[in-house]
């Protein structure tokens, strides 16, 4: 990476903004069809009611909540990379920070859609906001669900502003190298940025403060998401370990998604000299770490269930491992904690195909983790006569498919129309390496 010059960085990144090929638009169109499936199914559900989904007593939080937690989790590693690793001055995050932060913004957006889908009556969504109203009703701010509204909307706002702020110097680079309408658009977005020393001084300070604020925010957001469950007295949920357990899991899944996205991106855009194998290797090493934390959390849950002496807790966890949803449980354990251990071997973590395949396994494993937690606990709580079973309907799978399409649709539009690698941060990285 040290041999890259500033001009090479500009050229490589700006080349990705060249006129898209018909093949690109075909993929975009295909993904847009998937987006239509999402909104079509959602519209159908609004007309016909929540009964079209497989949720029923006792499982009222089905795939909608699973996907909500999944996407919030995906978002988290973007902030870890863009904010927390920025504060730690980890140079390897610079090439992937922009794409990871973009992933955060889109993932939170999709996460935010799910509670609205689950709401059924979408038109009363504003009841959750503290607005003066004819009903004289106010939200209950003691409720973790209201914590969630505040936390997720804060997270989305902060991530979007952080993302845009990071883009300003890059907008100026594109502006200075384009003509016509593109110059006008990027000139508008760059807001007159010219990289004056006074501008940089204040900008760097502001960016640092952004990162310093985003770091505790990201920890708080997934803690709040975990309290949606942990503040309920349901067996398997009511544990103090939930907040750190969820945060670690979120970062685990998000890092896997970063690899899933970065590998095709570097291949398609010729970013091999920017997103080097060492960068991917660093992500893989972090996945080993988060995988071990997640594995430790799984073990702790089982130990505490046994050690508590509570027969309800013991039954709940025994059933998780050997009951109806045992396959999902063991997929979760193997994909999240066993398979990532393959990254201990340098040959595996520096092999592109192996990296990609393992990242997919972790994505699947983390989705299953949310399934096991959300479905498993309520399907099998205190009273045997209230035990039940949940299986997603095709309709829910269609909405899930549509949400994935929406994510990749947005990401693809971003990658071809905005700089997907932060040219400024890459230059800083190259500059610091050559001066250290």
Sole binder of other proteins in the list 57, 134, 197, 240 (CB under 8 A): 197
Sole binder of other proteins in the list 29, 122, 125, 209 (CB under 8 A): 209
Closest distance to other proteins from the beta carbon of 432 (Å): 9
The 3-state DSSP class for residue 193 equals: coil
Q: Is 141 in the site for other proteins (CB under 8 A)?
A: yes
Sole binder of other proteins in the list 43, 49, 51, 216 (CB under 8 A): 216
Q: Measuring CA to CA, which residue among 23, 2, 4 is closest to residue 12?
A: 4
Report the residue number, 54 or 232, with the smaller CB distance to other proteins. Answer: 232
Q: Is 243 in the site for other proteins (CB under 8 A)?
A: no
Report the residue number, 123 or 136, with the smaller CB distance to other proteins. Answer: 136
Residue count, binding to other proteins (CB under 8 A): 57
Eight-class DSSP state of 386: G
Sole binder of other proteins in the list 168, 241, 292, 338 (CB under 8 A): 168
99-124 burial code (b ≥16 CB/10 A, e <16):
bbbbbbbbbbbbbbbbbebbbeeeee
Which span sits near other proteins by CB under 8 A: 53-61, 152-160, 240-248, 395-403? Answer: 152-160
Q: Measuring CA to CA, which residue among 308, 280, 274, 323 is closest to residue 427?
A: 274
Q: Under a CB-based contact definition with an 8 Å cutoff, are residues 311 and 253 in contact?
A: no
Most distant pair of Cα atoms in the chain: their distance = 72
Closest distance to other proteins from the beta carbon of 269 (Å): 19
Sole binder of other proteins in the list 39, 88, 200, 307 (CB under 8 A): 200
Report the residue number, 85 or 426, with the smaller CB distance to other proteins. Answer: 426
Dist. CA 285–CA 252, nearest whole Å = 11
Q: Under a CB-based contact definition with an 8 Å cutoff, are residues 100 and 77 in contact?
A: yes
Closest distance to other proteins from the beta carbon of 190 (Å): 9
Sole binder of other proteins in the list 24, 109, 119, 220 (CB under 8 A): 220
Q: Is 151 in the site for other proteins (CB under 8 A)?
A: yes
Rounded to the nearest 10°, the torsion over CA 307, 389, 252, 112 is -120
Report the residue number, 223 or 290, with the smaller CB distance to other proteins. Answer: 223
Dist. CA 394–CA 32, nearest whole Å = 20
Q: Is 30 in the site for other proteins (CB under 8 A)?
A: no
Could you tell me which residues are beta bridge partners of residue 59? Answer: 56
Q: Is 199 in the site for other proteins (CB under 8 A)?
A: yes
């Amino acid at each position: 990476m040290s041999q890259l010059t500033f001009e090479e960085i500009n050229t490589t990144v700006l080349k990705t903004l060249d006129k898209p090929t018909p093949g690109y638009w075909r993929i975009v169109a295909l993904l847009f069809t998937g987006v239509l499936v999402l909104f079509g199914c959602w519209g159908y559900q609004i007309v016909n009611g929540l009964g079209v989904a497989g949720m029923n007593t006792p499982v009222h939080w089905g795939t909608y909540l699973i996907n909500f937690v999944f996407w919030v989790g995906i978002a988290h590693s973007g902030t870890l990379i863009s904010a927390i690793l920025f504060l730690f001055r980890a140079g390897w995050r610079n090439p992937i920070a922009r794409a990871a932060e973009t992933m955060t913004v889109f993932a939170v957006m999709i996460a935010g859609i799910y509670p609205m889908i689950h709401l059924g009556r979408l038109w009363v969504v504003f009841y959750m906001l503290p607005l003066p109203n004819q009903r004289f009703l106010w939200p209950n701010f003691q409720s973790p669900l209201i914590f969630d509204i505040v936390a997720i909307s804060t997270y989305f706002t902060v991530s979007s502003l952080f993302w845009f702020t990071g883009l300003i110097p890059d907008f100026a680079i594109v502006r200075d190298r384009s003509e016509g309408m593109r110059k006008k658009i990027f000139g508008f977005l760059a807001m007159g940025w010219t990289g004056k020393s006074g501008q940089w001084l204040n900008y760097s300070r502001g960016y640092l403060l952004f990162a310093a604020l985003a770091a505790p925010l990201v920890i708080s957001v997934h803690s709040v998401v975990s309290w949606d469950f942990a503040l309920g007295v349901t067996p398997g949920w009511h544990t103090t370990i939930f907040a750190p357990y969820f945060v670690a899991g979120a970062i685990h899944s998000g890092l896997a998604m970063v690899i899933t996205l970065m590998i095709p991106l570097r291949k398609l855009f010729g970013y091999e000299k920017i997103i080097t194998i060492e960068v991917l290797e660093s992500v893989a090493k972090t996945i080993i770490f988060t995988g071990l934390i997640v594995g430790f959390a799984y073990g702790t849950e089982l130990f505490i269930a046994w050690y508590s002496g509570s027969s309800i807790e013991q039954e709940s966890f025994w059933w998780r491992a050997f009951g109806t949803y045992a396959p999902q449980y063991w997929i979760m354990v193997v994909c999240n904690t066993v398979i990532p251990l393959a990254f201990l071997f340098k040959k595996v973590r520096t092999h592109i195909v192996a990296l990609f395949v393992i990242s997919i396994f972790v994505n699947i494993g983390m989705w299953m983790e949310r399934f096991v937690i959300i479905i498993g606990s309520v399907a099998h709580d205190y009273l045997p006569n209230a035990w039940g079973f949940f299986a997603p309907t095709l309709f829910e799978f269609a909405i899930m498919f549509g949400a994935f399409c929406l994510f990749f649709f947005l990401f693809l539009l971003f990658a071809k129309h905005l700089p997907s690698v932060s040219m400024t941060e890459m230059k800083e990285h190259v500059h610091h390496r050559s001066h250290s």
